[in-house]
């Protein structure tokens, strides 16, 4: 007597379209999970970058305030020097000049150099504050911090866009999962094929979008 035939795994006895539904279902489940992970990861980066931008902007404002305070000190000292020169009080003018801040002295010297070779005591036009030699380091630091804050904020916006794109992909895969779940149980063969084609189209679109998105591991 011939040996009794042993039945193989149950999924081997399923119709071909049922196996195709199972394969799409498996792939979609894996990819949708990956999309959910990426959306959460980019969301964390967005929060981190926005916090970084906020911190940098706070530091920038503090640096600008410090710089503005130094400018006010320089302006007050310069006006006092002008007053002394207008009164021909050379001793007071020289005393005030020695009290200028280190950042103002180069600009003041360059300003006086504008009338070099002219009559002694001639006061140049304008002020030292308009010359490139006048540089206040806290204000420059504030400008740099503002640039860094803007860059961090832009990175946060990009991370937010990436997170939104992955959420959209997750929704598309969720629709594919729904179609696979419905298609497997539908009795009409023609309608089942239509559902299968729709699932394949949506799966292909979502996967093509996924391949183009940046990944964060």
Domain ranges of the chain: 16-212
CB–CB of 53/156 below 8 Å?
yes
- In the chain, what percentage of residues exceed pLDDT 90? 66
Angle between helices 137-185 and 189-212 in degrees, nearest 10 = 160
Query: What are the residue ranges of helices labelled H in 14-120?
Result: 16-86, 90-98, 104-112
- In the chain, what percentage of residues exceed pLDDT 70? 91
pLDDT at 9 over 60: no
Residue 104 is predicted with a pLDDT of: 93
pLDDT in tens, 70-100: 999 999 999 999 999 888 888 998 999 999 9
Q: How far is CA 217 from CA 34, 35, 38, 71, 92, in A?
A: 11, 12, 8, 47, 67
- C-alpha of 82 from chain center: 48
Residue 5 is predicted with a pLDDT of: 46
Averaged confidence pLDDT in the chain: 88
Residue 13 is predicted with a pLDDT of: 42
Q: How far is CA 181 from CA 65, 72, 178, 186, 204, in A?
A: 63, 73, 5, 9, 18
pLDDT in tens, 104-156: 999 999 998 887 766 766 778 889 998 999 999 999 999 999 999 999 999 99
pLDDT at 1 over 70: no
With 0-12 / 13-18 / 19 or more C-beta atoms within 10 angstroms meaning exposed / middle / buried, residue 142 is buried
**Of 18-27, 113-122, 157-166, the least confident:** 113-122
Residue burial 194-207, b: 16+ Cβ < 10 Å; e: rest: ebbeebeebbeebb
C-alpha closest to that of 176 among 214, 143, 205: 205
Q: Which whole number is the average pLDDT over 171-178?
A: 94
């Amino acid at each position: 007597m011939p040996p009794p035939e042993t039945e193989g795994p149950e999924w081997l006895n399923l119709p071909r379209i049922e196996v195709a539904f199972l394969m799409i279902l498996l792939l979609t489940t894996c990819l949708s999970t990956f999309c959910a992970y990426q959306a959460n990861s980019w969301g964390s980066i967005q929060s981190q970058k926005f916090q970084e931008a906020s911190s940098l902007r706070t530091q920038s404002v503090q640096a600008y305030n410090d710089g503005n305070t130094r400018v006010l000190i320089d302006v007050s000292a310069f006006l006092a020097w002008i007053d002394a020169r207008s009164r021909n009080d050379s001793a007071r003018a020289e005393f005030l000049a020695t009290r200028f801040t280190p950042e103002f002295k180069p600009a003041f010297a360059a300003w006086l150099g504008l009338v070099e070779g002219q009559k002694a005591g001639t006061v140049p036009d304008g002020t030292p504050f308009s010359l490139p030699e006048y540089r206040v380091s806290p204000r420059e630091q504030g400008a740099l911090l503002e640039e860094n804050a803007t860059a961090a904020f832009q990175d946060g916006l990009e991370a937010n866009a990436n997170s939104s794109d992955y959420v959209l992909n997750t929704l598309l895969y969720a629709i594919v999962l729904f179609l696979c779940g419905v298609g497997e149980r539908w009795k009409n063969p023609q309608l089942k094929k239509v559902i299968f084609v729709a699932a394949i189209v949506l799966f292909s679109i979502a996967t093509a979008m996924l391949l183009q998105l940046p990944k964060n591991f």
